[in-house]
Homo-oligomer: A and B are copies of this chain.
Amino acid sequence: MPTVKRDTYTPDSLLSVAVRVFNERGYDGTSMEHLSQAAGISKSSIYHHVRGKEELLRRGISRALDGLFAVLEEPRAREGRAVERLEHVTRRTVEVLMSELPYVTLLLRVRGNTETEIWAMARRREFDQRVAELVKQAAADGDLRSDVDARLATRLLFGMINSIAEWYRPDRAPLNGASGGNSAASTGSATSAQVAEAVIRTAFAGLRTH
């Protein structure tokens, strides 16, 4: 039996605990009992804040989606050539993923059949679709190579971006310069601007020198 502490949670701090547990155990594998244990407060205290775990899921996913969709409203995502807007959106998506890591991780792992999960997947597709339209427009402008299918390019770009959630850990020490570290852990700690720049260079300019 865990020690039950006084409930000093705010909606945000309780959400932060819940999202961590969802990411560790999977949403389906998380019970209110697990949340109660992780938060160190009783289930009835949790029900004082939210109607249930699905509300916490919805709030966690909303936080990720709000961050991502806000990127699309930034001036540099709305004005100028499509390829420049696309690069801006790519860069900022990486930054949001890294700054809102637990929430975006939760969004990326959603697979289920609850109303909230179906809504989340639809919203995620909508975001992907908005980026796919930028890719198409940039291709139509002649700024992207025509021998890679636009939708395939979008998928590969998101594959690269979303995979960052698999290894990035914000609590690691900073990256040791551009020559890179020797250990697998070393890139877990690059700043989000460094990682975003690497994604831009790799995906848009390519790794090859010539």
Chain A residues in contact with chain B, CB under 8 A?
Answer: 26, 83, 125, 128-129, 142-153, 155-164, 166-167, 175, 178-181, 184, 186-187, 190, 194-195, 198-199, 201-210
- The interface residues of chain B lying within 8 Å CB-to-CB of A145 are 201, 205-209
- The interface residues of chain B lying within 8 Å CB-to-CB of A155 are 163-164, 167, 187
- The interface residues of chain B lying within 8 Å CB-to-CB of A125 are 184
This chain: copies in complex: 2
Is there contact, CB below 8 Å, between B203 and A151? no
Is there contact, CB below 8 Å, between A149 and B204? no
Expressed in whole angstroms, the Cα–Cα distance for A179 and B135 within the complex equals 12
Given contacts A145-B205, A206-B204, A208-B204, contact A190 B160 (CB under 8 A): no
Closest Cβ neighbor of A162 among chain B residues: B163
Is there contact, CB below 8 Å, between B143 and A209? yes
Is there contact, CB below 8 Å, between B207 and A152? no
**Further 6 A-B residue pairs, CB within 8 A, beyond A143-B208, A204-B206:** A148-B198, A152-B195, A155-B163, A159-B161, A159-B163, A204-B208
Is there contact, CB below 8 Å, between A148 and B83? no
Is there contact, CB below 8 Å, between A160 and B167? no
Q: Which 7 A-B pairs have the closest CB atoms?
A: A159-B163, A206-B206, A149-B180, A205-B206, A160-B160, A152-B187, A204-B208
- The interface residues of chain B lying within 8 Å CB-to-CB of A128 are 184
Is there contact, CB below 8 Å, between A147 and B204? no
Is there contact, CB below 8 Å, between B144 and A178? no
